[in-house]
Amino acid sequence: MKLTGSQIVAEVLLDHGVDTIFGYPGGTALNIYDELYKYSDRIKHVLTAHEQGACHAADGYARATGKVGVVMSTSGPGATNLVTGIATACLDSVPLLAITSNVPDSLIGKDAFQEIDIAGVTMPITKHNFFVNRIEDLADTLREAFVIARSGRPGPVLVDITKDVTAATYEYENKRPLPLRPDPEIRKDDIRAAVKMINAAEKPVMYVGGGVMQSCASELVQELARKANIPVVNTLMATGVMDTEEDLCLGMVGMHGSVAANRAIQHADLIIALGARFSDRVAQDTKTWGRSARILQVDIDNSEINKNVMIDKAVIANVHEFLEKAIPFVEKADHSEWRERTVSWKKKAPYVKATDCPLHPKDIMTTISEFVNDDAYFVTDVGQHQMWAAQYLHHRKPHRFITSGGLGTMGFGYGAAIGTQMAHPDHQVVHITGDASFQMNLNEVVTAETQHLPIITVILNNSVLGMVYQWQTIFYDRRYSNTTPHRKVDYVKVAEGFSIKGFRATTPEEFQDAFYQALQEDGPVWIECVISQDERVLPMIPGGKSVDDMIVG
């Protein structure tokens, strides 16, 4: 049957199980949007306030479901507004499909109105991208884009389509989605060598990253940890890999990681790195990091081997498949002395309250953890609040902590919370942000209100650019260059202007009351929490330093 290019786009999306997309229309995308109007009973399009918000929403949707998140935009500024969102997905290995519309092929290269080479712009921040100026290539290109986005190490793919292609017609043939590309086959010798290292270790520690989440291997990590009594430390992206109250879970490792996690890395004799890339936020001083340990690295991406830290043994594999094959051969172990030592570090870790402000970040996170159920999703922006959320929330399950790790994108949170809530309409979604991050994309409240999404936004307001302010306090002799903006924003009144409910809390009791009321609402809610500008994220390892230089108070 003959279909237009716009119909082909819609049909391929349906063939791949896509029922929700995010975007913003424009001139070159009109043909596609006209077709989406006709497909609205099968594909829900969520109009956001800004294309960046749409991209973050598609990203959040993907992280919360494991599916490919889809975002659409027009050409020119619409397409370039996706760049930060695409880069965010790229650095965190999120499967994302960005479909952009460009000017007609006859105008390409002629500086036409709103023409941009978005494929060239995004080449460094996509797993792959395509420029489609022939309708006969359109369907197969979109099918291939889905395969690339999900195969191996996931990532974003961009497909740029010229406007004339969206109007042209072509004989369309329904096809099943293409199979994902097979993961690298694990060599038996690699399994044997890895198991031998694990069985021989006396002080092993598992260092797990986003690859564990991407391969849905959290349960297997827990199985190995309990079988061989191996403590687990996680990167920010693997938050929730184990219940944080379990003794074997030592928490986040790295610059703002827990004392127990960082000490375990330094005293271990074997580090089992699973889907983790030894980023500079974790292995800051690569010469001293894990100095007493041999390192076994399991990763699906060969380019990550020996990239940041030199290792002793590499296994190129999907983490889930590796653990499935290795666990039966790992011996049950006691490691009682090592376990008691790591547990003591966890229990004796100092809790430092830097100020006498009535409302402290830990109070806020404790209340949130107590009031929500086990299936709640936590979505954050980037900054001090992000670290406090990682440190103090009770993380019970994997895939419930959604945050921008690699790129560290301020303004990520509201869009991502929208995508998460759209993916799981019956689950609680708590968006945790800081006043500076929130002001970047708070316009997405119009999307949340229009869609009647019961997202609770908790704004930790210290009236400064908190994380940079903290660095200026410690390392720049309190020279607060452009980190004290003196903005006078009444978030309760702003919320009312957007037709939503707003609260303000200055004490733990006020926050408990506000959060309880927020849970009763059926639409978006903001809660402003007034905290001290001098509150710090601790522990902290200064940039480029080692665990020996960790600041704990």
For the chain, the first-to-last Cα distance in angstroms comes to 69
Q: Helix 319-326 and helix 218-228: axis angle, to 10°?
A: 30
Write down the catalytic residue from 1, 38, 113, 310: 113
Question: What pLDDT sits at residue 351?
Answer: 75
3-state DSSP assignment of residue 408: coil
Determine the Cα–Cα distance for residues 326 and 223; give it in Å rounded to an integer.
11
Pairing mode, strands 156-162 and 96-102: parallel
- Per-residue model confidence as pLDDT tens digits over 83-94: 999 999 999 999
3-state DSSP assignment of residue 242: coil
Rounded to an integer, the average pLDDT of 415-444 is 98
Rounded to an integer, the average pLDDT of 397-408 is 97
Told to judge if 52 belongs to the known catalytic residues of this protein, a careful annotator would answer no
- Per-residue model confidence as pLDDT tens digits over 319-346: 999 999 999 999 999 999 999 999 999 9
Name the pLDDT band for 552 (thresholds 50, 70, 90). Answer: confident
Q: What one-letter code names the amino acid at 297?
A: Q
Write down the catalytic residue from 11, 35, 51, 528: 51
- Per-residue model confidence as pLDDT tens digits over 183-215: 999 999 999 999 999 999 999 999 999 999 999
What Å distances lie between residue 507 and 192, 483, 512, CA to CA? 56, 25, 9
Told to judge if 113 belongs to the known catalytic residues of this protein, a careful annotator would answer yes
Write down the catalytic residue from 44, 114, 307, 545: 114
Question: What pLDDT sits at residue 382?
Answer: 98
Name the pLDDT band for 348 (thresholds 50, 70, 90). Answer: confident
Question: Under 8 Å CB-to-CB from 20, ≥6 apart: which residues?
Answer: 43, 44, 46, 61, 70, 422, 423
Indicate the range of 69-73, 157-161, 277-281 predicted with least confidence: 277-281
HSE-CB for 391 with a 13 A CA cutoff: 27
Told to judge if 467 belongs to the known catalytic residues of this protein, a careful annotator would answer yes
Q: Does the predicted TM-score (pTM) go above 0.85?
A: yes
Pairing mode, strands 2-4 and 169-171: antiparallel
Question: For residue 501, which phi and psi values (nearest 5 degrees)?
Answer: -85, 135
Told to judge if 51 belongs to the known catalytic residues of this protein, a careful annotator would answer yes
Question: What pLDDT sits at residue 546?
Answer: 87
Determine the Cα–Cα distance for residues 234 and 212; give it in Å rounded to an integer.
10
Told to judge if 114 belongs to the known catalytic residues of this protein, a careful annotator would answer yes
Question: What pLDDT sits at residue 352?
Answer: 72
Structural domains in the chain plus CATH codes: 2-171 (3.40.50.970), 188-348 (3.40.50.1220), 361-530 (3.40.50.970)
Determine the Cα–Cα distance for residues 69 and 93; give it in Å rounded to an integer.
12
3-state DSSP assignment of residue 32: helix
- Per-residue model confidence as pLDDT tens digits over 473-513: 999 999 999 999 999 999 999 999 999 999 999 999 999 99
Tokens encoding 453: 């999404």
Question: What pLDDT sits at residue 24?
Answer: 98
Question: What pLDDT sits at residue 107?
Answer: 96
pLDDT of 247 above 80: yes
Write down the catalytic residue from 35, 52, 115, 163: 163
Name the pLDDT band for 548 (thresholds 50, 70, 90). Answer: confident
Write down the catalytic residue from 467, 501, 515, 528: 467
Determine the Cα–Cα distance for residues 499 and 268; give it in Å rounded to an integer.
54
Indicate the range of 27-36, 118-127, 326-335, 534-543 predicted with least confidence: 534-543
